[in-house]
Chain A
């Protein structure tokens, strides 16, 4: 803002004529509109809105005008300057947005580049399967019991009504430790955990026993000297075979899907009486007519062998100090590895034990 003009010269004030102010304003707006980037806009600002721009100079002249002319000229120049500043602000916003957009485009990356800098870990499917089964039973209020794999002969056999001269002992090909009269075995089933549970706890007992077991089987696609079993044991008042059936039906459906229930066939196990084999409705063909003929999984029978079960033989209760008049129990057992193969479609048991990460890492960390 300049002070009043002491040397008033009418010629000098011609720029304050309306046409001239309008021309300055148009020129400034044109320059602003023509600016293609922020640099050009900066130059336009200096030229048309800076201290030495025509409109600024004109503004400075206003004070020199006679008082009657000042108001009009001030209004005229003020409006022009306001319009130019508004145009500048608007153009700045547009050009800044354009500039940012350009910068972001320049920063483009190929998001399809590989990203895996460290391999993903995983837990073994047998572990996951065991945990899944444990959770399923824990949800029903059962508990998970465990025991050692190198086990006393008495717990693996005798306590389960398998005396030394029981023919069923030859059904299970047992690994014995040296010397043989140490009476130690690699447990052939997880049943010794049942015996331990009955020895250590008092009924009611509702436990599931998953674990590793051993038999002297040659190693091939469907047999292994080491495999995994899960056994269940219930001891309570008023237990019946119906409870056994109900538990296994629930278990089967949780494992293999709705409608995959079980059937019992009479069988023999020294530690149960009555005893039964448990078959599953074939989860491939579901035993439905028509589909049955071609089913390779169940060989057209509509049923698949799953495990064994029965009512706990009162002699076993006696060996474990449980009153068999008051309590009755049931027990069941099935292969975890086999169930895993059913559930996942794995075809060769050996894939479970050779440790190839291409197999194991596909199963994640939790089921």
Chain B
């Protein structure tokens, strides 16, 4: 809301020496937040004068543009009194118009972000152009670039300083208005707050006598009094459509951020800014028969003032006449009854509309308008007559004609509901003493009336009736906010509350930290990616068409049409990050990410309950069931150099085993033995992919990525990755390990080399050795794999270090040898191993 300070001062008798900065600061502390304090045109220096266009000759240029060679009367401002010759590129004016001219020597603010421009007489398009005719944009007093400023005829005389005419000496405070403070979308409301802030006298612009309603007014029938509780109509006849907008009114409308258009339009906008009540004007000659307010019927259409043809919904409130729908009530009028430059009869509508209906219609038709913005937040329902009267008065004052005696008033304004509040509630909520007298003073200051309860303790219970312009005040706590903000939020003391003893972090929260630290300790850097993917993401991962990961939650309004899905895997995001790092010159990268993925619940829509009471347990159950399943996953990608070459020797690239090792290490951290099995699953290399299991249950995959996937993501072949279900791991994690016991007896070593078929896995051989070695076995470690002529085609030799130890004695060679032999025998039996 842009508010010229002089306009605020018209209603609030503020101290003369109060600066606009202080005013804005104080209002910010009250809840009207300072967005910007503008001094429009403050950067304009030098001669800026009113000029009258004497002649204009359009000249077509070679570049296809047409410029106007003008002579402009600038009085004595140029020192000669002779007309000034100026080239102008705009066309929205005619000889005789008053315009704004900056003469040579003047300085205009440059385009945003650039230096100021000094104006001098210069040769252009074959003329010497001595100055410039200005647009609002060039003076930085508005956004309008479509043409130059044409001043009202009474704005001044040629040669006058244009600054006061344009309001360049005015300061404008722009406030950010919260949705509950709709009253502050008017000068009436802002000035009331300002007066309250400085204890100044306030003059309500809506306190004005209005003629009583009668039967002579324009006929109106409201068929939906819930949607439209009040409808006031007044008529002005004999209006001169060519009458110009008075300069002061145009200036205020302009300073408030709206564009002056014509007297009739400017007046309705002005009254809306002044009172907060949106007004609609109809061309009375185009209206056919009675005005009717009702809900639209299916199939009805309307072309609104913005030129859009709209299909109406049976929920839309519409204004009709005999011709059909002529407006979307409270939101936007229709084209057929629009006021034009020939309108001489104006029917003024000032109506109160149901905010919910306004909100829904605005949303449905994607229509935002100054009127809609106010109507959907709630406007004072009691000022319809006053606003209509004010419009009629301004129209006839400046446009001639007369106000018809007929006054149509349909309906009565809904009365605000009184609120009972304990006088102690404000201090109980605020946490510092607020005497009842202060509470009453604050509530009266915002316009409420207060009644002490006759029966109760006179100091305790108050019945407060909010003013009609405060539809937001419905609950005791709303009143508390009013009291505390006026007493001052800065009065609230600072006191740390003392909760009962807490239980600290949950098991899962502690485990998540452990997991993150473990991955970091293994050299991985955590990343955070967006969870949005597209179908082509799954194609790049090589997932089959029926893959479970393709069954996703889809967004109806994604930011990017290419990525409308909530991801079911963390690998794409982390692969993108890996590719980005490598592309930026990193020799290698080890990344991890933990995050939730989502799988549709497929349990039907989530219910939407009311807001006045707690849903039942069964209802909550139904709600929770409908929410997608969102397990916590961990993914890691290892790509390029894992260990660099250096003076110590050669380096090595990350490979499939690094990914599997990360899972094993993580399992060990959580007290779990991870089993690894050969598997085949996209996006992994079909022969270099492991599924990882705990207690026989699979919880993810690790290994080398498929070469096609590496290519699709632009990472080197051999890139390794893993993705596991962390919820699974955390469920099984060992919280407090048992303290281990260990023997102090000497260690006995036995190394064996076993030849097996290629297809036999190391894990199978190891398992057989373990089963055969007996209780004395302490550990088995594979320390070499050999393939080559010495073992023959299709075979490999696996060398294992077996370590034995007894709890109570030194083992003899014979004991160790026997145990080793038994282990080898078991391997021979289980996987056909032959000792070399």
Contacts and interface: CB of A to CB of B under 8 A. Distances in A.
Closest 4 CB pairs of A and B: A355-B577, A240-B431, A242-B431, A321-B614
A350 B356 CA distance: 39
Given A144-B509, A183-B605, A117 B644 contact: yes
Interface string B607-645: 111111110000010011011101000000000001110
Interface of A: 113-114, 116-124, 126-127, 131, 134, 138, 140-144, 146, 148-155, 158-159, 161, 163-165, 167-168, 170-171, 175-184, 186, 199, 204, 206, 212, 216, 218-219, 225-226, 234, 236, 239-247, 249-250, 261, 263-268, 273-277, 311, 313-315, 318-321, 328, 352-357, 360-361, 365-366
Contacts of A179: 556
B118 interface: no
Contacts of B179: 167-168, 171, 268
Given A150-B630, A319-B612, A268 B492 contact: no
Given A357-B586, A365-B517, A266 B606 contact: no
Contacts of A140: 496, 499, 502
Contacts of B299: none
B31 A266 contact: yes
A318 B612 contact: yes
Interface stretch (B202-210, B590-598, B731-739): B590-598
Nearest to A183: B606
B30 A313 contact: no
A246 B496 contact: yes
Contacts of A180: 556
Contacts of A328: 428-429
B598 A355 contact: no
Contact of A265 (B28, B475, B498, B558): B28
A353 B608 contact: no
Contacts of B16: none
Given A121-B590, A154-B623, A240 B428 contact: yes
Contact of B430 (A123, A138, A242): A242
Contacts, number: 301
B377 interface: yes
A120 B523 contact: yes
A165 to B, nearest CB: 4
B492 A241 contact: yes
Contact of B523 (A118, A142, A243): A118
Given A119-B523, A175-B555, A178-B556, A355 B580 contact: yes
Contacts of B596: 148-149
Given A113-B647, A183-B607, A315-B611, A265 B499 contact: no
25 contacts: A119-B588, A121-B520, A121-B521, A121-B523, A121-B526, A124-B528, A138-B504, A152-B627, A154-B623, A158-B608, A164-B608, A167-B179, A167-B376, A178-B564, A179-B556, A184-B606, A218-B559, A240-B431, A241-B492, A261-B494, A274-B484, A315-B475, A328-B428, A352-B528, A356-B584
A152 B620 CA distance: 11
A179 to B, nearest CB: 7
Nearest to A153: B608
A182 B606 contact: yes
B623 A360 contact: no
B580 A354 contact: yes
B530 interface: yes
Contacts of B430: 240-242
Interface string B494-524: 1111111111111001000100110111111
B478 interface: yes
A114 B431 CA distance: 61
A150 B566 contact: yes
B728 interface: no
Contact of B178 (A144, A219, A267): A267
A121 B605 contact: no
B525 interface: yes
Q: Identify the interface centre among A131, A158, A167: most chain B CB within 10 Å of its CB.
A: A167
Given A226-B531, A355-B577, A124 B584 contact: no
A178 B520 contact: no
A127 B526 contact: yes
A178 B554 contact: yes
A118 B495 contact: no
A175 B522 CA distance: 37
B123 interface: no
B363 interface: yes
Contact of B499 (A204, A261, A361): A204
Contacts of A225: 530, 559
Nearest to A313: B477
Contact of A360 (B431, B498, B526, B614): B526
Contacts of A155: 623
A234 B502 CA distance: 13
Contacts of B494: 242, 245-246, 249, 261
B829 interface: no
Contact of A141 (B500, B578, B613): B500
B363 A114 contact: no
Given A121-B520, A273-B481, A150 B499 contact: no
Given A158-B611, A159-B611, A241-B429, A118 B499 contact: no
A123 B484 contact: no
Contact of B520 (A122, A171, A355): A122
B74 to A, nearest CB: 40
B520 A267 contact: no
Contacts of A149: 531, 596, 598, 630
Given A167-B359, A320-B614, A245 B499 contact: no
Contacts of B33: 265, 267, 277
B181 to A, nearest CB: 7
B789 interface: no
Contact of B497 (A247, A313, A353): A247
Contacts of A183: 605-608, 626
A166 to B, nearest CB: 8
B613 A276 contact: no
A234 B630 contact: no
B272 to A, nearest CB: 18
Nearest to B530: A226
Q: Identify the interface centre among B499, B506, B513, B531: most chain A CB within 10 Å of its CB.
A: B499
Given A117-B643, A144-B506, A152-B626, 8 more contacts: A123-B526, A158-B610, A175-B557, A206-B497, A206-B502, A241-B429, A263-B490, A355-B574
B605 A199 contact: no
B484 A241 contact: yes
A127 B646 CA distance: 33
Nearest to B584: A356
A301 to B, nearest CB: 9
Contact of B519 (A121, A245, A361): A121
A365 B180 contact: no
A135 B580 CA distance: 33
Contacts of B528: 124, 126-127, 352-353, 355
B93 interface: no
A142 B521 CA distance: 29
A243 B502 contact: no
B203 to A, nearest CB: 25
Interface string B641-666: 01110111000000000000000000
A169 to B, nearest CB: 9
Interface string B129-164: 000000000000000000000000000000000000
Contacts of A264: 489-490, 492
A274 B481 contact: yes
A366 B517 CA distance: 8
Contacts of A186: 555, 566
A320 B616 CA distance: 10
A219 B503 CA distance: 39
Q: Identify the interface centre among B505, B525, B591: most chain A CB within 10 Å of its CB.
A: B525
Nearest to A206: B499
B581 interface: yes
Contacts of B591: 355, 357
